[in-house]
Structure 1
Amino acid sequence: MANALATCDMATILEGVRTAHGWSQGELARAIDYSQSWVSRVVNGQQALTVNQVQVLAQRLDVPLHLLRFGGAPPPGGPVRQEVDTTRHRGPGRAVSAGAVLTTAPPPSLAPAPSRSGAHHSVNETTAPALRSITGGQRRMDATSPARHLLPSAVTHVHLAEQMLTNSRGTPFHPELSAAASEASGFAAWLHADQGDMGSARMHYRSAVVRARQAGMRLLDVYMLGSLAAFEIDTADDPELGLGLVREAEHVLGPSAHPTAHAWLACVGALAHAGIGDRSAAGRAIGRAEKEVARTSNTDPPWPWVFAFDQAKVAGYRALVGVRLRSPHDAREAFAEAFAPQAANAKQSAVLQVELASAHAEAGDVDEAFRLAREALTTGVRFASERVIGRVRMFRRRYRGPRAGCVEALDRELASLLTTIAASGWGSGKETTRESP
């Protein structure tokens, strides 16, 4: 994809966009408002394109022209590296291109319509701060509210942010509104992931990355890249793709950034290495994170981070790495340092409880393992969180020990939950997690 962008190879770019979104050729044709037969000829190298057609295609897919080496200026803050070899073969007939993930614009449902003359009158210096304050309020509510209650307003807010971004074209407010749209899409992605909607979550994360790059705000770019990486590693169970995204984020970040950003990315990378089974690389990444958080300059975290990364947070990641590498004793020691059962975000605590349950189960402490899993399940049901409930289900599937009373108790609760879901109508999203090989 990087080579195609550099050489303006529209056939490869169109095919990469189609593959990244999982579209059929007909769906791609509808997205760019051309016939399927025309798209087929372009992709097969049978249709030459005029300069005007290239411009139209770039506009309809919201691919910045400077990425095509076609004209225009790079975003403020310097260009983002394009020469990335991120195609990873993961079995016969399967390849994943991180380049397509990073360079594909928001899908047409999120991409702004052509700007109307005079529309920018509705945008001023207060618009971006107002949009960001709404996203901030929604994020705070996420700690105590079910994602399904927040999701409709969050998606509507994304569309509002996109419309304001459209109205800001040709004004000095465009970069700030790109950042606001990025934050709104990132939060919508988080909520979709919680509800088990993998496709929508990935779509919004990609949109968040693209908008951050259009804003020219390096730290926001890194934050959204890292968030997408964490999603691919932890929710989509694709550590190889996640690791490629982490490496790209580290390159964008540069060596002189705030320690919190370096520590967080190192921890996300450690999870990717652990998911692949590379114990040494995971340990080195955790070690880098520990060095970063120990720096005297690790105070006053940079936006968009809210809290500085500290030793307790690194310990939490060290525990998660231990679970994935099947080192239960190391994991339990790290959890003892990091785990906070009374944390403000009950859903996040529940996810950690399931991870801790896995560590106890590996160590043979079955009663404690299933007690934690049942507590997490209760929280998942209370918040209608498919993410938490899916983690508990995966924990149960992986357990191969004796069928004690605590195991049967969890089985009864899971069976009862199926009836509850069918009767209430919530939780219809597909389960987002799958067992590792």
Structure 2
Amino acid sequence: MKLARVEARLSQRQVGEACGTSQAAVSRLEGRGVGSYDTAQLARVANHLQIPPHLVGLADHTAAVAARGDGNGTDVERRSFVGGVAAIAVAPALSMAPTQQAFAVDSAQAATLRAATTAFRRLDGTTPSRQLVDTVLSHLRLTQAVAQDAETDEERARLAAVGSEVASLAGWLHWDMGDNGSARTWYGASIKAARRSANPLLAAYQLGSLAQFEAHAGNAAQGLTLTRSARKQLGDGLPAIADAWLSGVEALAHAAVGDPDSTDQALTAAARRAEQVKHEEAPPWPWVFSFTEAKVAALRVSCGARLGLPRWISGARESTAEVMAPGHDKQRALLMLDIASGHLAAGRLDGAFTMAARALETGLRYKSGRIVERARAVRRSYSGPTPPKVVRDFDDRLHGVFL
């Protein structure tokens, strides 16, 4: 509750007034259920903050009771909390309108499993992948076991969608660890599960995820083929966020083969569609984070680094504040390495390797093989005479790295 309220930039008093209760009552709700409170009151506040009822331990009928203004909640309802999953799932509910569409049709099992998956996805930004991966794979096995016991085709399809999300997260974590072979395996599994779920939007998302991986790996032809397949899944009904994101992936693929004109065209298309995302009601599930113009700017930096165009990097840096913000440590480190490449291409060695060293420290803190390999790529791009001290210091730090 507190995290959702802070995210909405509301005070306890403002929430209380909107829900017909007091600041003190809201404070009690935020105190992890300490003291007494009315179930309908809890439901009204959750509804005001757009938190799905089950994430605060309420059945859907309790929310309906609150909507009628009936304040008679039972002791059983008060204590029907989802347990450990609810505790970690509140945080991902904050800015996660995408998942609300899925929750609306999910069974309790599928919704709870999805909530845990989403929490793990958000934890990834500030947690070493090596610490998350075993838990995520165990979660995948649990999801698969639950799916095997499902009694209806409809429920199996819902659980296949959840399994697709978990497999995709496993692919992302292995990519971050530098295990590209396993990453491809899990991305492939996520695509197969998405197709079993009979959800074209999810299938397009997972195809795009693998396309993004291949584009970053320099496999341009595969990346472009996969994005075409993703677009084909949705036909003319492509949401703005999907179109913008896939255009960004295409830009990375074009940059990988050194085609600045096609890259620029794809980035321009991504920016145009990203501007339209804000006019959609909410980014559609399964997008956990929205795709914004700041992220397009960050993509231009990344493409500029791959194309050796420092003017693209310097021109887009001011627009990347969202990606550089606290809470996105790994993304920030990767972007810093792209900016370092721009400095290097422009002949600014001190700036390049000072920034690269800071990014490398982030990679080491989170044991991210992907960040470390990107740091090595920056170092390989310098082939001048006897390296100055800032480069030698970077070499000393990099040579001792074993992940």
Q: What's the TM-score once normalised by structure 2's chain length?
A: 0.70
Separation of aligned partners in 2, 1:143 and 1:279:
30
Match runs of 1:157-168 below 5 Å:
157-168=139-150
User: Could you tell me whether the CA contact under 8 Å between 1:270 and 1:286 is conserved in 2?
Assistant: yes
How far is 1:331 from its partner? 1.7
Q: Give the match for residue 278 of structure 1.
A: 259
Once the two structures are superposed, what CA deviation does each residue of 1:231-254 show, in whole Å capped at 9, x if it has no partner? 1111x3211111110111112122
Of the candidates 399, 402, 413, which is equivalent to residue 397 of structure 2?
413
1:156 partnered with 2:120: no
How far is 1:292 from its partner? 1.0
Code of the residue aligned with 1:286 in structure 2: it is L
Once the two structures are superposed, what CA deviation does each residue of 1:108-148 show, in whole Å capped at 9, x if it has no partner? xxxxxxxxxxxxxxxx9211111111111111211221110
Q: Cα–Cα, structure 1 residues 141 and 308, in superposed 2: closer, same or farther, change >3 Å? A: closer
Once the two structures are superposed, what CA deviation does each residue of 1:7-42 show, in whole Å capped at 9, x if it has no partner? xxxxxxxxxxxxxxxxxxxxxxxxxxxxxxxxxxxx
Q: Give the match for residue 129 of structure 1.
A: 111
Once the two structures are superposed, what CA deviation does each residue of 1:261-319 show, in whole Å capped at 9, x if it has no partner? 11000000111011122222211111111221223634521111133322211111112
Separation of aligned partners in 2, 1:171 and 1:246:
29
Separation of aligned partners in 1, 2:142 and 2:368:
26
Match runs of 1:100-115 below 5 Å:
none
1:383 partnered with 2:372: no
Separation of aligned partners in 2, 1:313 and 1:328:
18
Q: Give the match for residue 378 of structure 2.
A: 395
1:343 partnered with 2:326: yes
Separation of aligned partners in 1, 2:173 and 2:399:
25
Which has more helix, going by share of residues? 2
User: Could you tell me whether the CA contact under 8 Å between 2:218 and 2:257 is conserved in 1?
Assistant: no
User: Could you tell me whether the CA contact under 8 Å between 1:181 and 1:208 is conserved in 2?
Assistant: yes
Moved over 3 A (4+): 339-343
Separation of aligned partners in 2, 1:217 and 1:328:
41
Q: Give the match for residue 351 of structure 2.
A: 368
Q: Cα–Cα, structure 1 residues 254 and 171, in superposed 2: closer, same or farther, change >3 Å? A: closer
Match runs of 1:78-227 below 5 Å:
125-168=107-150, 170-227=152-209
Code of the residue aligned with 2:331 in structure 1: it is Q
Once the two structures are superposed, what CA deviation does each residue of 1:297-348 show, in whole Å capped at 9, x if it has no partner? 3452111113332221111111212122211112221123215433312111
Code of the residue aligned with 2:306 in structure 1: it is R
User: Could you tell me whether the CA contact under 8 Å between 1:240 and 1:276 is conserved in 2?
Assistant: no
Q: What's the TM-score once normalised by structure 1's chain length?
A: 0.65
User: Could you tell me whether the CA contact under 8 Å between 2:218 and 2:253 is conserved in 1?
Assistant: no
1:306 partnered with 2:288: yes
Q: Give the match for residue 322 of structure 1.
A: 304
Q: Give the match for residue 60 of structure 2.
A: none
Q: Gaps spanning 5+ residues in structure 2: where?
A: 1-105
Give aligned pairs, total. 295
Separation of aligned partners in 2, 1:256 and 1:139:
27
Code of the residue aligned with 2:226 in structure 1: it is L
Separation of aligned partners in 2, 1:264 and 1:219:
13
User: Could you tell me whether the CA contact under 8 Å between 1:195 and 1:385 is conserved in 2?
Assistant: yes
Separation of aligned partners in 2, 1:150 and 1:307:
19
Separation of aligned partners in 2, 1:310 and 1:190:
21
Aligned-pair identity (%): 38
User: Could you tell me whether the CA contact under 8 Å between 2:324 and 2:331 is conserved in 1?
Assistant: no
The range that moved more, 376-385 or 124-133, is 124-133
Q: Give the match for residue 33 of structure 2.
A: none
Q: Give the match for residue 84 of structure 1.
A: none
User: Could you tell me whether the CA contact under 8 Å between 1:259 and 1:297 is conserved in 2?
Assistant: no
User: Could you tell me whether the CA contact under 8 Å between 1:357 and 1:370 is conserved in 2?
Assistant: yes
The range that moved more, 159-168 or 221-230, is 159-168
RMSD across aligned positions (CA): 1.6
Separation of aligned partners in 1, 2:204 and 2:247:
12
User: Could you tell me whether the CA contact under 8 Å between 1:298 and 1:308 is conserved in 2?
Assistant: no
Separation of aligned partners in 2, 1:199 and 1:333:
35
Separation of aligned partners in 2, 1:205 and 1:171:
24
Code of the residue aligned with 1:172 in structure 2: it is E
Code of the residue aligned with 2:126 in structure 1: it is T
Code of the residue aligned with 1:367 in structure 2: it is D
Code of the residue aligned with 2:234 in structure 1: it is L
User: Could you tell me whether the CA contact under 8 Å between 1:194 and 1:385 is conserved in 2?
Assistant: yes
Q: Give the match for residue 231 of structure 2.
A: 250
Q: Give the match for residue 334 of structure 1.
A: 316
Q: Give the match for residue 210 of structure 2.
A: 228
Once the two structures are superposed, what CA deviation does each residue of 1:385-421 show, in whole Å capped at 9, x if it has no partner? 111111111111121234111101101111233xxx3
Code of the residue aligned with 2:340 in structure 1: it is A
Code of the residue aligned with 2:341 in structure 1: it is S
How far is 1:176 from its partner? 0.7
